[in-house]
Structure 1
Amino acid sequence: MEGVPHSGPRPFGWQEDRITLHPHEAALVRQAISDRIGGKAARAIARDWCELGVSGTRGGRPNAQTVTQIITAPRVCGYRANRGVLMPVPGTTEPVSGQWVPIVTPEQWQAVRATFSLGGPYPRGGSGAPRSTAEKAKPRTIGSGLLRCGAERSDGTECRGAMSRQKGRSKRSPYVYTCRSCRRCSISGPLADEALERLLFSAAPVHASLPESVRRRWRDGDMGVEEKRRTIRSVLTCCVVRPGVKGNPSWDHARVRPEWRSAARAEASAVDREPFRHGVGGSP
């Protein structure tokens, strides 16, 4: 209630006394808040910090989550909070002010917090703050979580890491899917989604073909992203993405290799029957 700085790791933006501003870090936080209010993505801010060689107070590389926690923490405008909740002055609704030097004004802090939606992918309000809602952010594209990395590991096996949606750098590819594990495989988001749709309607085997009513609703635009994802999952376990060839701008649909759900069931059934073929396990 006295606004005394907490113990623990040094907060990013302040010196070891947790009261005096760290000139370089405070300037980064101030600029990041201004950029975010102007529409810049937290991931892009984190990438800028990495390129500048910035590291966290415990030596880690900045990412979108840590940037979000830093710039939305009440501490940046001088307010005292407990797990993201402002501490009011007894008998009033005014927040307790800390003894440290603030980086931005309360108005700027409120403005940057407003740029992060409730239930977004990252908690806002500081490192100890819980999510604003238990509801998770819903995927915005049909390929999120359905694509797997096909890059080859050093032992010759496939990576198989999940590929997630990230912001792209061109009008043709406003978003891309990138492997979260090895980071060695990336593919244009719109082209990958087009390949998924092509597989469903042009390359699906007979046992995995969709009913005509489903096809019609998809092509007429009556399906949302969530329903499309459920439709894909009903016939596909996943799709493995082969890395592209550096310097080759041509698009190859064969980079996206489907793994049909019915084929997986048939393979599992064959494995279950294998002991009986060799006279093991008694009579079928």
Structure 2
Amino acid sequence: MVAADPDLKCVVCYARISFDGRVKDAHGIEDQHRDMTDAARRFGWLVVYRYTDNDKSASKEGVVRDDFEQLISDLATGTTPEGYPIHGVMAVNDDRLYRRPSDWERYLKAFTSHEGRVYHDSNGVQDLYAEGFEIKGLVGVAMSLSETRKKQRRSRNSHRSRAVRGQAVAAWRPFGWEDDKVTLRSEEAEAIRQAVEDVIAGASISEITRRWKEAEFITSRGNPFQYQTVKQVLMNARLCGYREIKGEIVRDGDDQPIVGEWKSIITPKQWFAVTAKIRERGGGTGMPRGGLVHKYLLTGILRCGNVLEDGTTCNNKMIGIKANDWLKYQHAYMCKKTVDGGCNKTYKRGDKTDEIIEKLVIAKLEKDAASKAQDVPDWDKTEALERAIKSRNELERRWHDDEDTDIDDETFFRNLPVLERRIKELRADEAKHEALKAEAESAQEDIAKAWKSKTITQKRDAIKKVLSAVVAVPGGKGNKTFDPDLLKPVWRSSGE
């Protein structure tokens, strides 16, 4: 076609959109390419390639636009990936191609590396070879970037203003609430409330995730719950009525947390406690540690007490196994086989062993609870926090006061970070204290009654807090009546 018509222009089209909406159907991209195709037909140009970057920003650092990079490379070589010549570029607007000065300079250099190319956007056909067009383009980029930042700033200010007013700002329906984002969805809210109580009491996020999957709960976006999404739900300050922006609780002029217009599911004290628990388990990240979830209660806690031929005790960790079908009980504990490092001499009926140890542990926990002062004293740094906030506010007031010559920019910005850091440290300490209070209150409940509703992981954690191990002494050969005296608990000292 080019040989038959030397004046034919082979052009490429570039389409981009920053946000493809919730449907993700690329309709915006399709609209752009359709408009460019219609324009090319009017000029008698032939579209030989279409470059597309869907749902990608051109103004944010770190965003890689693959097709834009391919376009730059192809402009430099002069041909499309299939080998068609590139005589021009089309875009619905120049800000689809570039919004940063560096991208504009790279594009212009690649475009003008070959003579005689055409460029078309909403302003018509542009001569990118014209003298001064590089400066004109930079001015346009600067104006576009300024407008983008202005919109981002307005969006942030609007978001924060609504947060300060206590209004719901979530784009999606939060799990636990109805579509109005204010009214509770009872079944989901109760699941969250129970999960928070269980995590504070020792349950793992993995167990909560499995429970929610079995209940067939789905996220607000219609996906099955995963570990991370469950963690995000439980660590969201919205649960107790608070709002967070970038990890910081939104506060009013008196530095008190803003309470939202939506109904809360748990108390602030419970929220501080559950977030502290999750961060503590994940080394501060809330990430799973990869621990094994055991099927049987005393796996690894029971130790083989068989005396070996050399006079030493086996002391190998016993494992839980499924009992034979003809037995009245469903599981048992046994020492590993010799090839696995055990002696294979100790075997214990599972249900009776669990029952005995659980009774011992519950009695120990009840005794400890009765002997300890469960009430955590009031936080003793309230005045220090108030002084730090007052000092920061006074520093800001004096800096804004034109008549106050003592606080110049250098003094202000040198002292402000110190006060901000002090306030942040005190608030973190306050949150830790609130978590301790919530945990102490949780421990005051009826231990025996609460034990029945605990998961295996929660029970194992409680057992390991008071027991170092349980030594299981073999009962001898043959079938004998279960003897609880052959289970020797090894209690932890109070200092451990």
Structure 1 or 2, whichever has the larger Rg, is 2
Higher relative contact order (CA 8 A, sep 6+): 1
TM-score, normalised on structure 1? 0.45
Specify which structure has the higher proportion of helix. Answer: 2
TM-score, normalised on structure 2? 0.26
